[in-house]
Structure 1
Amino acid sequence: MNRKRCNSPSGISSSRKILRIGGDATNNEEIIASWLCESDESSADENDYIQSDRDDYSEEEYCDDGEAAGGASDPDSSEDGMPLSHFSRHIDSEKRQTGVQVSDSQVSTVVEGNVSQSRRKYYYGKKRCMKWSAEGPSRTTRTPAHNIVTPITTIDFSPDSPPSQLFSLLITDNIKTQIIENTNQKLELVRQKYKRQGKPELKDLDSVELDAFIGLLIFSAAFKSNNEDINALFATDGTGRDIFRGVMSKDRFPMILVSLRFDDASTRDERKQSDVAAPISSIFYEFVANCQKYYKIGENTTIDEMLVSFRGRCRWKKYMPNKPCKYGLEIKCLTDSTTGYLYNAYLHTGKNSDGNGLTDEQKKLLVPTQCVLRLAKPIMGTNRTITADNYFSSIEVCRELKKIV
């Protein structure tokens, strides 16, 4: 596009001309005409530059050397396919608009800088510890193998099953049988201390009464009544809860509570030599296995510790001042990040208890690393994500998990 440019009258630069209100009218008209010509000239340059941009951005100029139409490389093109003429036109336009003179060496520096910036594929973080890609992941390519989550085999059940049937999948009949047998052994020892052994609160426990007792415990936990006095729960003056008196008597409930046992007392001392949590470990780990058997865990998991409130006598009871309950039994858990479902767990019973079930080489690692490896066993090789706090996060953990995958 060719445009006729107007020259300022009398060859005098317009920047030196001053428009005066009381000045000569002819002189003022010449100054105004000069300004209009300069405005037209600047707009013409801008339009020419926009038009050149539309012409320069063609498909041929941006293809690689091997993909050019004729197969021949253009000596005036940069390494990444960007034409050097584009940078030259851009700088020439800036010179016309700003009036600043730019040398050829400066033009070459700008072009090389733009080329190097456009070809950069990675950026390094502080102290060059992390390497970041300059381009986001492509959404059109195939998903990498390490990002494909492998499903875990589980036992299916009907989604319309009642809650009681779903509860029986976790607390199975085998667990209930062990509790009933061991509790009745303790009740037999308690009956020998009474002259009247036929009292109703001293009778043996059966499966129906055990289900009722567990239901009352869950009910009290739902209403935050774990530390409430039993007399207040069974009160008959209108302040108690009728459901407790409707299920069992006030004397029977504490009798079951103090007699409840989860293991065989006759072999406990022998088992405690290798397992300090022998009174509850057998049923606890059977419950954890049932949690894994019927649940399909999601893509994201979380590892953390949990302190179960307990102030009784126990050699591995822990004190954590930052926890709400302060005293209790520590349990290391792996849960589903979305639902909070408990998928794997173990009891932390003191020093060297985190490495149980690991190889001799893995037992030499740091304690947090042993914890992660032990909890992540059920999901090893499934490409799931594990999230943890700074206690469980380290370079050693990442290396060990990478070896297993």
Structure 2
Amino acid sequence: MTAPLPAYAGLPPTWVPGAAGSGHDVDHLPWGVVVPRDARTDEGARVAVRIGDHVLDVAALAGRERPDLAAAVQGQTLDALLAAGPRTWAALRGWLTDALTREAARPVVEPHLRPLAEVGAHLPFTVADYVDFYASEHHASHVGRLFRPGQPPLPPQWRRLPVGYHGRAGTVVVSGTPVVRPCGLRVLPGDDAPTFGPTRRLDLEAEVAFVVGVPSEPGARVPAAALAEHVLGVVLLDDWSARDVQAYEYVPLGPFLGKSFATSVAAWVTPLAALEAARCPLPGQDPPPAPHLAVDEPAGYDLALEVAVGGTVVSRPPYAATYWSPGQLLAHLTSGGAPLRTGDLLASGTVSGPGADERGSLLELTDGWRVPVATGRGERLALEDGDEVVLRATAAGALGGRVQLGEVAGTVLPARP
């Protein structure tokens, strides 16, 4: 059984300056790993939570005040915390909520706060396996119409199971890491044969990903209802894509080099517990899913995403419109007996909505590279060197405001010779 979540009703506001009413109030408390900006190595990395525009060194505070919880927040990654499971996650969250709202705790807690501007981002956990799904019907249908005109936009199995592919965990990088333009075989306009060189169709993909904490046994099937028993929280994710390389290679086995060069994730993991107020029903599944994929509603999350290129917002994809729920991704992944591992990353695939301004990739926004998109650095069909992509998202919080998920940013660098 999962320990009860903190009760926010009747809580005094947090005493941390500027945090009350912000996207990082006590109803959020995202987990991350921080290092001092002036540090020359990662040896000083510490497990922390964000509160307002400050970070709290949880490792140091727990070592002094909660030795029973300290083991879960030691080390230079969130790995121990992930593996500790939902009882520990809830106990830490309840203790931190109390410590950050009770004025009497301030003298003990405040010395462990640092301004956010004084610390640097760090990849928060060791990525075990990375699976990218294709869970948005609007995205899959639009891409199907672009790639297969005159044919059904979705393959017959798409509404029967969450389609996905296994990505490269070693190329997952933290927000702010530059992205080098990849090279590969692609067929240029007017050419009959492929040539090797830098991608001409570099794209972004706005996604939501789920970070697995508690592993499962090989051969065991994890039900969709067990999401909160295994998943600590959520990160935004940009699945950078070389579309021309992908187009040439993907038949018959799907993406490989077109997506293996970089995947950016946020530096802060938003706990599932912080998104309870954002729960929402799925948009409807027809035909009904197989019994092992059945869910109890509300099974979705209403996250409002935002995609900016060169400082200009180009799209606002709604995660609430996504067809397959995160619990169903988890259930499908394990339905054949594959075990979950601590640090597994399960991504939604591109999040897109029904509107023309709700599409989570340039492939869709440009209607298949035909209609340029206005960005802060000029019109674009595909990303150019020097372009910065930033993904943001908000959701309803337990205190009545909006929880602000950790952003994902990356700047495109030229291909290497």
Higher strand share: 2
Q: Which has the larger radius of gyration?
A: 1
TM-score, normalisation: structure 2: 0.21
Higher RCO structure (Cα 8 Å, ≥6 apart):
2
Higher helix share: 1
TM-score, normalisation: structure 1: 0.21
